[in-house]
């Protein structure tokens, strides 16, 4: 592994450990909860604190880099040149507020549009999943093996609530019918991890933001899995995407059913 990537990996891992320790310590404290665009679109003081803290650390250690963060403390970008960090301080804010589990802290680093490092930290289970270009994927430092290539009929399908609520994608029902079962966790990051582990054959979701999907690209790439938009094009991190993260066989079936 190149020295600069190894060093940045150690730095990011330390930041994630330190910041998430505060999230766990403060878990029972009263949250300040605000609505953003709707009653199901929430942000808490903790989302904001985590993003501010990460942005501060990135700007100090890597002042030339650009940052795209969900809660708006980063930069707005129009291209992917140079080093770009994607930050989702708490992925699954509704779960964080209502369940106190099933949420993750996520970071992804791209160099000239190429994903080089990705992190998804399941805070309550204390599991840090990281992907490094050319080095595979690990969970708490233990290398993960490539999952089996499964068809839809041998696995489960995960999806997000916008597909179900908006019902724009009628074809999704056909895909669900072919699978063994349907799962909705409410955290794009943790659903990405399930695909990486092979416990879910495919995750399909509409209207995901760049920070929801950025880490998943490298996880899929390193494990021989697929990450595309519904139209089979690569993901575009300058806009929202309808995405499919899947085992190759399941991906091929989904492409046939959706297009
Ligand atoms: C949300 C979660 C959810 C997905 C939403 C995302 P947030 O992220 O990943 O699973 O369906 O589209 O916005 O807002 O909790 O970070
Ligand atoms: Ca949000
Ligand atoms: Ca998110
Ligand atoms: Ca979030």
pLDDT digits (tens, 9 = 90+) for 188-220: 999 999 999 999 999 999 999 999 999 999 999
Task: Show the domain range for 209.
Answer: 152-258
**pLDDT, averaged across the chain:** 95
Q: State which of 93, 118, 143 marks the end of a domain.
A: 143
| Mean predicted confidence (pLDDT) in 77-84 | 98
The answer to whether residues 109 and 8 touch, using CB atoms and an 8 Å cutoff, is: yes
Q: What is the pLDDT of residue 173?
A: 87
The answer to whether residues 111 and 165 belong to one domain is: no
Evaluate if residue 169 carries a pLDDT over 80. no
The answer to whether residues 115 and 31 belong to one domain is: yes
The answer to whether residues 74 and 119 belong to one domain is: yes
The answer to whether residues 165 and 57 belong to one domain is: no
Query: 163 versus 158: which is more confidently predicted?
Result: 158
Question: 192 Cβ partners below 8 Å, 6+ apart?
Answer: 120, 203, 213, 215, 216, 219, 220, 245
Pocket test for ligand 1, best of 98, 206, 212, 241 (most atoms within 8 A of CB): 212
Query: 169 versus 74: which is more confidently predicted?
Result: 74
The answer to whether residues 60 and 174 belong to one domain is: no
Q: What is the pLDDT of residue 56?
A: 98
- Indicate the range of 164-173, 180-189, 211-220 predicted with least confidence: 164-173
The ligand that comes nearest to the alpha carbon of residue 164 is 1
Q: How confident is the model at residue 243 (pLDDT cuts 50, 70, 90)?
A: very high
The answer to whether residues 159 and 99 belong to one domain is: no
Beta carbon of 95 within 6 Å of any ligand 1 atom:
no
Sheet holding 142-143, edge to edge: 66-69, 83-91, 104-111, 114-122, 127-132, 136-139, 142-143
The answer to whether residues 34 and 62 belong to one domain is: yes
Query: Rounded distance, CA 11 to CA 217, Å?
Result: 21
The answer to whether residues 121 and 168 belong to one domain is: no
The answer to whether residues 215 and 118 belong to one domain is: no
CA 94 to ligand 1: nearest atom: 15
The answer to whether residues 29 and 82 belong to one domain is: yes
Instruction: Output the six-digit token pair for 75.
Output: 């930069």
Q: How confident is the model at residue 29 (pLDDT cuts 50, 70, 90)?
A: confident
Domain count, the chain: 2
The answer to whether residues 90 and 58 belong to one domain is: yes
Query: 79 versus 259: which is more confidently predicted?
Result: 79
Evaluate if residue 105 carries a pLDDT over 70. yes
Cα 90 to ligand 4 centroid, rounded to whole Å? 4
CATH number of the domain where residue 177 is located: 3.40.190.80
Give the whole-number percent of the chain exceeding pLDDT 70: 99
CATH number of the domain where residue 105 is located: 3.30.540.10
- 109-150 tens-digit pLDDT: 999 999 999 999 999 999 999 999 999 999 999 999 999 999
Kindly tell me the burial class for residue 86, based on how many C-beta atoms sit within 10 Å of its own C-beta (0-12, 13-18, 19 or more): buried
Q: How confident is the model at residue 167 (pLDDT cuts 50, 70, 90)?
A: low
Q: State which of 96, 122, 143 marks the end of a domain.
A: 143
CA 70 to ligand 1: nearest atom: 16
- ipTM of the complex, rounded to two decimals: 0.98
The answer to whether residues 115 and 170 belong to one domain is: no
Residue 91, beta-bridge partner list: 104
Q: State which of 112, 143, 174 marks the end of a domain.
A: 143
Q: How confident is the model at residue 30 (pLDDT cuts 50, 70, 90)?
A: confident
Max CA distance (Å), the chain: 50
| Mean predicted confidence (pLDDT) in 22-28 | 89
């Amino acid at each position: 592994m190149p020295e600069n990537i190894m060093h940045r990996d150690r730095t990011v891992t330390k930041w994630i450990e330190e910041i998430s320790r505060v999230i766990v310590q403060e878990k029972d404290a009263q949250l300040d909860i605000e609505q953003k665009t709707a009653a199901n679109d929430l942000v808490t003081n903790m989302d904001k604190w985590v993003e501010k803290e990460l942005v501060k650390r990135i700007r100090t250690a890597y002042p030339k880099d650009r940052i795209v963060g969900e809660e708006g403390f980063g930069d707005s970008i129009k291209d992917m040149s140079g080093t770009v960090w994607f930050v989702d301080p708490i992925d699954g804010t509704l779960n964080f507020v209502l369940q106190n589990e099933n949420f993750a802290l996520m970071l992804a680093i791209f160099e000239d549009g190429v994903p080089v490092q990705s992190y998804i930290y399941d805070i309550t289970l204390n599991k840090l999943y990281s992907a490094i270009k050319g080095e595979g994927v690990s969970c708490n430092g233990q290398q993960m093996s490539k999952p089996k290539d499964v068809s839809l009929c041998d696995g489960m399908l995960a999806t997000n609530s916008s597909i179900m609520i908006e019902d724009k994608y009628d074809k999704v029902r056909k895909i669900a019918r072919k699978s063994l079962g349907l799962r909705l966790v409410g955290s794009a990051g943790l659903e990405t991890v399930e695909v990486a582990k092979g416990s879910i054959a495919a995750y399909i979701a509409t209207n995901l933001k760049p920070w929801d999907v950025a880490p998943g690209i490298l996880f899929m790439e390193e494990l021989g899995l697929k990450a595309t938009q519904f139209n089979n094009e690569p993901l575009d991190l300058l806009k929202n995407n309808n995405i499919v993260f899947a085992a190759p066989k399941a991906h091929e079936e989904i492409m046939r059913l959706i297009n």
